[in-house]
Amino acid sequence: MDRTTADAPVTGQLRVLVTGATGYIGGRLVPELLAAGYDVRVLARHPDRIASRDWSDDVEVVAGDATSRDDLRRALDGVDVAYYLIHALGTGSGFAERDRRTARGFAVVAREIGVGRVIYLGGLYPDGERLSPHLESRREVEQILLDGGAPTLVLRAAVILGSGSASFEMMRYLTERLPAMVAPRWINNRIQPIAVRDVLRYLVGAAGIPTTVSRGFDIGGPDVLTYREMMQRYAAVAGLRPRFIRAVPVLTPGLASHWVGLVTPVPPGIARPLVGSLVHEVVAQEHDIKEYVPDPPEGLIDFDTAVELALARIRDLDVRTSWVSASTPGAPSDPLPEDPDWAGGSLLVDDRSSEVDTTSEALWTVIEGIGGARGWYSWRLGWVARGVMDRLFGGPGLRRGRRHPDRLAPGDALDWWRVETVDPGRLLRLRAEMRLPGLAWLELSIEGDTAERPTFRQRAIFSPRGLPGQLYWWAISPFHGIVFGGMQRNIARAAEEQNRRRRP
């Protein structure tokens, strides 16, 4: 079953701006808008992350930050429709203020520029209740944009079902890894999930709604289920035995989020607001959107079909975007400085190189396949222990894995690293997103002009932050031989073994 989401006809070629284009929804929305005939512009803090997308040559990229009004003016100039897909989920206790400030700036510039339509994907929430911080922030951003002066459409969704969605992945890992579990009593609250394909269809269709319409719409799929029922239905579709779930009244959202953080790859900073929002029943109160974006003849995608589609994407290694596409909250985004005296201090480097009895092709295959299920080719226990420690301090740990088992692109998450540079056959540079008193990179490169017996160079680079950073580097230096030396030797051996298997 393959439904097209870009089925809204376009009159003329309208120019649309997509913010959050490297995120889960934005990265999927852009190709749908292009397929519908729109002229697409994207605003990106890191344009290099756009370059790896299949659609990068078909869009106009504006380098800038949504918190800068000057950048917003450049991005919104001449735009007919602007998609606001920005939120500070998981960026710490001040996320509501960051959301508020960014939304206000966007609304002001959109009104000043004269944008014809603003479209915001918000959260479904119940009326008349004290909301969780996450849903309250979504509601507040919605109101800021609606009151901003530019015609605005808000689409409110609950759990989005799709491969790579944080909510879906949280449910998937909980169900797959825990055949029996103790859960909060609000696991029996009702939720109206929606398939990501239907979300995209509504988003594309919203661009064609008359500008005289400025309001919010509830969007949801055809099923209303409790979280318990969603987990049991997921288990059935995935071919798992029914799960034993016992609800208890003493498990608070805070405790539950830590538990989710240990069992799933979703870090506590993201799990906490998601779990906290489950204390509410989130069911659509109206379906007025169908007057402007009609339901498809075959109807909206039901829960079981949405899960089947998501699992097919995962099996086929075709997860186009994921929640990990966004940077880890608080993680450094600075590229590796070219100047070794950067920021007034020297970079600390562990530099190793060796000639390898293999081909450059075989060596690169091993380098690009590092991490995830294959691991890091050295002292596995040490890597696992460091990953657990990182999770305890709110970092990503090793649970994010990798998007594809064999291929990497700039911007990809790779366990606790972020892919900064990929020069196929020559260089892989990773930037650490773990909790550290400084900035760290890992470079794996192939040197030499010959394809036979290449030189494999490996550099661990650290820019310490003050005295704690210096102490951290020298405290772990005795382990460099085990960790980095072992990695150097074992990657070389793996490449040599792969080369031997390829020989006739």
Residue 27: DSSP 8-state: H
Model pLDDT, residue 11: 44
User: What pLDDT is stored for residue 342 in this prediction?
Assistant: 30
Exposure string over 315-344, b if 16+ CB within 10 A, otherwise e: eeeebbbbbbbbbbbebbeeebeeeeeeee
Higher-confidence residue of 272 and 294: namely: 294
Examine the pLDDT at 324 and tell me if it is beyond 60: no
Q: Tell me the range of 321-325, 468-472, 494-498 where mean pLDDT is highest.
A: 494-498
Q: Tell me the pLDDT band of 7, cut-offs 50, 70 and 90.
A: very low
Find where tokens 């040599």 sit.
Answer: 496
Rg (alpha carbons) of the chain, rounded to whole number: 24
pLDDT at 221 over 60: yes
Report the pLDDT averaged over residues 197-226. Answer: 95
- Max mean pLDDT among 282-296, 330-344, 431-445 falls in 282-296
Q: Which of 103-107, 406-410, 439-443 has the highest mean pLDDT?
A: 103-107
Identify the pLDDT of residue 38: 95
More confident residue, 291 or 447: 291
- Per-residue pLDDT band at 339 (split at 50, 70, 90): very low
User: pLDDT digit string (tens) for 49-61?
Assistant: 788 788 989 999 9
CA angle 70, 44, 196 (to 5 degrees): 125
How do 117-123 and 81-84 pair as beta strands?
parallel
Q: Whole-model pTM?
A: 0.69
Among candidates 227, 487, 225, which has minimal Cα distance to 382? 487
Is 342-502 a CATH 3.30.530.20 domain? yes
What pLDDT is stored for residue 396 in this prediction?
73
Report d(CA 211, CA 227) in Å as an integer.
Answer: 37
Q: Identify the weakest region by mean pLDDT among 261-265, 341-345, 440-444.
A: 341-345
pLDDT score at 195: 94
Extents of the domains making up the chain = 15-325, 342-502
pLDDT of residue 155: 97
294 Cβ neighbours under 8 A, 6+ residues apart: none
Position 3 scores a pLDDT of 34
**Regarding predicted confidence, which is higher, 178 or 282?**
282
Query: What's the farthest any 2 CA atoms get from each other in the chain?
Result: 72
Question: Sign of the C-alpha dihedral, residues 55, 57, 59, 62?
Answer: positive
- Count of CB atoms situated within 10 Å of the CB of 296: 15
Say if residue 288's pLDDT is above 80.
Answer: yes
d(CA 147, CA 216): 12
**Residue 407, SS3?**
coil
Per-residue pLDDT, averaged over 31-60, amounts to 90
Distance CA 386, CA 374 (A): 17
Q: Is 309 left (phi over 0), alpha (psi -120 to 50) or beta?
A: alpha
Q: Tell me the mean pLDDT in the region 361-366.
A: 92
> Would you state the pLDDT for residue 119?
97
Percentage of residues of the chain with pLDDT beyond 70: 84
Decide if pLDDT at 257 tops 90: no
- H/E run at residue 199: helix 196-206
Architecture in CATH for domain 15-325? 3-Layer(aba) Sandwich (3.40)
Backbone φ and ψ of 223, nearest 5°: -110, 135
Residue 412 has pLDDT above 90, yes or no: no
pLDDT of res. 327? 46
Residue 10 has pLDDT above 70, yes or no: no
Query: Encoding tokens for residue 71?
Result: 């950048």
More confident site: 185 or 206 = 206
pLDDT at residue 333 greater than cutoff 80: no
C-alpha angle with apex 199: 172 to 35, nearest 5 degrees?
115
C-alpha distances in Å from residue 133, one per residue of 59, 94, 105: 35, 10, 21
Paired with 349 in beta bridges are 461
Q: Which amino acid is at 482?
A: I
Q: What is the DSSP string of 353-388?
A: EEE-SSBHHHHHHHHHT-SGGG--SS-HHHHHHHHH
The SS3 call for residue 427 is: strand
Q: Which of 21-35, 265-279, 394-408 has the highest mean pLDDT?
A: 21-35
Please compute the mean of the pLDDT values over residues 366-376 and round it to a whole number.
90
Q: Which of 21-35, 62-76, 489-503 has the lowest mean pLDDT?
A: 489-503
- Please give the share of the chain, as a percent, with pLDDT higher than 90: 40
Distance CA 358, CA 456 (A): 10
Residue with the larger pLDDT of the pair 379 and 444:
444
* Rounded CA separation 120/156 (Å): 8
pLDDT at 331: 47
Instruction: Flag whether pLDDT at 136 surpasses 60.
Output: yes
Q: Of the ranges 222-236, 397-411, 472-486, which one carries the lowest mean pLDDT score? A: 397-411
Across the chain, mean pLDDT equals: 83
At residue 9, the pLDDT reads: 40
d(CA 495, CA 131): 54
Amino acid at 96: A
Of 6-10, 111-115, 189-193, the one with minimum mean pLDDT is 6-10
What is the 3-class SS of 239-282, one letter each residue?
Answer: CCCCCEEEEECCCCHHHHHHHHHHHCCCCHHHHHHHHHHCCCCE
Residue 491: per-residue pLDDT: 93
Res 220: pLDDT: 95
**What 3-state class would DSSP assign to 111?**
helix
Higher-confidence residue: 187 or 5? 187
Listed in sequence order, the residues at least 6 apart from 125 whose beta carbon sits closer than 8 Å to its beta carbon are 131, 135, 138, 139, 156, 280, 282
User: Which alpha helices (DSSP H) does 36-165 contain, by range?
Assistant: 47-51, 69-76, 95-113, 133-146
